[in-house]
Structure 1
């Protein structure tokens, strides 16, 4: 959710939809240098609503969002707040009487209220005040506001990660907002300054030693999951695939500090695996990553290309309707899920249409695209963010991105300090296409050469692995001619191809690790994909040889390696 003091920008707030949903709290994990906080997806029951009523509930009435629990004061007063990477303030106690619906008013009350006089800390306040505006100026029905007075008190997350003397807002007047907000974006005026306009929550966590540096990781999970996690000061290798791609933070469309990035490309992968890349104008490359916005918001020049391929039709209120069958594409006859793709640097994030297209409930018979057109700041909202794993590094003004997944276990790593605080060695433990060719155990790791048929010099390969115990290992060395043709969606120069073909290739095999090739500095194949090509986001390339010798040698060597490995 984006906020502004002078101009209301794009975003949407939300309301807790049930007492049970508001107070389901899972364990917060406090580690050495990090704090992992459960994040719950709050979504309404739409079964009794018509199509139009359903989209109003989700978007206009804002009953669909990600929440977490905080504790304020002594003894702790438990409050549920919206998790928002589009604004900077922490504030509580919205005016429930102005909630957009009766159900939201009830849910607003169930989310908890902070009563300063009930805290023995003691709190300080009220002092100073501020008006916060939220919404998309190009869509008036999203505009809301909150007037707050400032207090300071002790804040923790389910009893962990306590910070003292934390400044936050308590609402004195609000319109159309049904839950408090924890903003994690920089201040629109002061940016990333540590103490301005005051110490924001992430600043206080670092200053008071809860975390090492001002970094947080966000895992929202896909639409079929009910929960994710927010990790201050760390990341979870068990929740993404492959390497994290580092990209610099960008400012917003008006030059203001934002958690924004520059898009490299946008495309679509059909159920048959055909990849298409859309035209991306310079004016359409800047996007803000906003967990407080349900739908993504793009300029017409980019959005219309996506909507056209989805055969979406316009609906009342600026929304777009699509065939619900797109959410469950056929998997037979070699088909696969269909995806919208967003590329950041050399990392391509694939958003399944089951996430990107919203089901409005069993009575509607129609689905809405998770995308609307804006003339304001472009936003990638929850309809996109669910598919990615994002690490926001305030100190270095960088964002690290990977394809989200769930390996079924936690592998949290604390992040230290300094320029390279987010470790490049933190490779995700989950299997699957990572969107970055170097991460995938496919032939994309082999040298990329031109499609010109060449007779390459001989290549020596060595396979090593564990032997029959007692610390023994085996080693197989063989030399083979490399004559053949390589067909790749990305072509290197002939000089680079010759150099790559003559170098020695060494693989170390262990039962619990996967060898990857060195960091590839060539262009990602995904960025050059066109309609009708194969799914290049797995990084795969096809190989054709004039002789079977190479295949026979490789097959024999791998068979022998497997036999020795299992001795």
Structure 2
């Protein structure tokens, strides 16, 4: 009997082991990605932004009697909440693909109104500053003037009460003295953005909580002086970190990169690869998401095509921002296709910008094609609202595949019958594609391979998520037909050509597709494809609970049989 009892206990222990191993495997199948949903807000500032606001242009008279056109509610914000430090202080930040540093407002910011410093719980968001084309400089934060504020170890700037206008309790501040886990490294942080706001403070490390995750030893800056109402969660390339390319870096010897937020997620095994997907949804949608470490196939249609990042900045050996090659541009309306150009042009994908900026001559081509004319009085392309064809789309060729962006995304209403085209001319031969374009694209940022994968966004999708973890290359993505044909030097923008002869679909992606050829004016058919993957995450999660039940049942059945044999 002693032998029988020992055998029985061993078998029961084995059964317990069956259950515990299955649970661990099930937990592992759900790991390795982080999905952050955000609310989409619009306003003049983050403080007055709401979900339902829309950009609108208003006329008003200046003191000199001239009329001026002003666009209100033109900035976009995407909010998320952070808990910081051992005391879990709640602050609001703005997620931004166009910068790479995390900074939060300190509790001693002199730009705060008296009595408005606290740590109230708020959502965290993404800010999208907007400027007039002639004033816009995406690299203005690279310039630094020591008169803006104090150094990490110096005295704080005295701010006149008239400038201390921020209600800092509204979005939370961080008191380093209230967190026992905060470690300062006594080095200075400074950044300035295209809208003129700045942040100055000190680097340190502490624990960050986001979306139920607690992440230790995260590097961020505490801004003891800033005229911005909220901080920023920069998730761009490490090369764009202020420690590597900022204005305080005086020589190449002083430049260095550190593990910013996406890299920390990889460091801690939360994601497998430094990559994430951005889905802004439609321009009217109130929510969107960023998916760290994975791709959601339900958020796009057709094939996901991969293209390389390019480097247009001198002094850097590899790209530090999300610039790609636009291989051509066209218009599609009423089944008629018109190619505007096939000249290769650098295009910056910038979720920190709302509108779109084009070289002046190309902006004029687009405006003429949709019936808008430039008003030197107001500084915008304008058109009659009644003449807008809602079926018109702007077609972007990124190298053998096309992304269609509805014209209505670029239209800004006025209080009258005239509308503004949200495409602004700028000097130089480069393009900035902001939210008006990005709402039409599903974008996967592979920061390790220095690649971008693009597909037509499935805006308004309501189906279940279909998530694939990114372990090496982007799942189901294929190289674009013109992957190796990228921008190299600036060239004059030539008219004509044909972007509407492309191959859609790929056997590598288990998808179906068609090839359509047309002239610069004619008809075309857009094909869509269905992507499949045997390792998709949601499928694994759906199957494994059933597998656990069967495996447990098999274990139990075996134990019962052997117990019967012993007895």
- Short-chain TM bin: 0.5 to 0.7
CA–CA separation in structure 2 for the residues paired with 1:49 and 1:296: 16
Q: Does 1:530 align with 2:525?
A: no
Q: Is residue 311 of structure 2 the alignment partner of residue 251 of structure 1?
A: yes
SS in 2 for 1:354: helix
The 5 A counterparts of 1:27-106 are 31-44=30-43, 45=53, 50-51=58-59, 55-59=70-74, 63-93=75-105, 97=111
Inter-partner Cα distance in structure 1 for 2:325 and 2:309 = 8
Q: Distance in 2 between matches of 1:34 and 1:46?
A: 32
How far is the alpha carbon of 1:318 from its aligned partner? 3.9
The reply on whether 1:185 has 2:236 as its aligned counterpart is yes
- Aligned residue pairs, count: 395
Structure 2 partner of 1:166: 218
Structure 2 residue corresponding to 1:113, chosen from 161, 173, 183: 173
- 8 Å Cα contact 1:312-1:323 kept in structure 2: no
Q: How does 1:143-154 map to 2 (within 5 A)?
A: 143-154=196-207
Q: CA deviation at 1:390?
A: 0.2
The alignment status of 1:263 with 2:326, answered yes or no, reads yes
CA distance 1:327–1:201, shift in 2 (3 Å): farther
Identify the residue that residue 132 of structure 1 maps to in structure 2: 191
Give 1:275's aligned residue. 337
Structure 1 unaligned spans of 5+: 1-29, 136-141, 330-336, 427-434, 437-487, 493-506, 508-513, 541-567
Superposed displacement of residue 127, structure 1 = 2.1
Counterpart check, 1:288 vs 2:348: yes
Shift in Å, 1:539: 8.2
1:55-83: CA deviation from partner (whole Å, max 9, x where unpaired): 44445xxx433333322223322323222
Residue 442 (structure 2) pairs with residue 389 (structure 1): yes
> In 2, distance between residues paired with 1:425 and 1:266?
23
TM-score (norm 2): 0.62
TM-score (norm: length of structure 1):
0.62
1: distance between equivalents of 2:37 and 2:467? 16
Q: CA RMSD in A?
A: 3.7
Contact 2:277–2:442 (Cα < 8 Å) also in 1 = yes
Mapped to 2, the partners of 1:258 and 1:325 lie a distance apart of 39
Residue pair 2:58, 2:72 contacting (<8 A) in 1 also: no
Aligned equivalents of 1:489, 1:383: Cα separation in 2: 22
State the 1:401 CA deviation. Answer: 0.4
> Which residue pairs with 2:512 in the alignment?
517
CA distance in 2, matches of 1:317, 1:92: 37
Give yes or no for the alignment of 1:240 onto 2:300: yes
Contact 2:351/2:438 (<8 A) preserved: yes
Of residues 182, 191, 198 in structure 2, which corresponds to 1:123? 182
Structure-1 separation of matches of 2:368 and 2:110: 40
* Aligned twin of 1:156: 209
Aligned-partner SS, 1:306: helix
Structure 2 counterparts to residues 423-502 of structure 1, below 5 A = 423-424=475-476, 490=501
User: Given the superposition, is the C-alpha separation of residues 515 and 154 from structure 1 closer, same or farther in structure 2, using an over 3 Å criterion?
Assistant: closer
Q: Secondary structure, in 3 states, of the residue corresponding to 1:267?
A: strand
Q: Is the 8 A contact 2:176 2:182 kept in 1?
A: yes
Asked if residue 398 in structure 1 is aligned to residue 460 in structure 2, the reply is no
| Equivalent residues of 1:82, 1:292 under 8 A apart | no
**Residue 357 of structure 1 contacts residue 370 of structure 1 at CA under 8 Å; is this kept in 2?**
yes
Report whether the alignment pairs 1:320 with 2:319.
no
Distance in 2 between residues matched to 1:223 and 1:200, nearest whole Å: 29
Partner of 2:407: 353
C-alpha displacement of 1:537: 4.3
Q: Say if 1:312 and 1:369, in contact at 8 Å, map to a contact too.
A: no
Contact 1:34 1:231 in 2 (8 A): yes
Cα separation, 2, equivalents of 1:267 and 1:252: 24
Q: Which has the larger radius of gyration?
A: 2
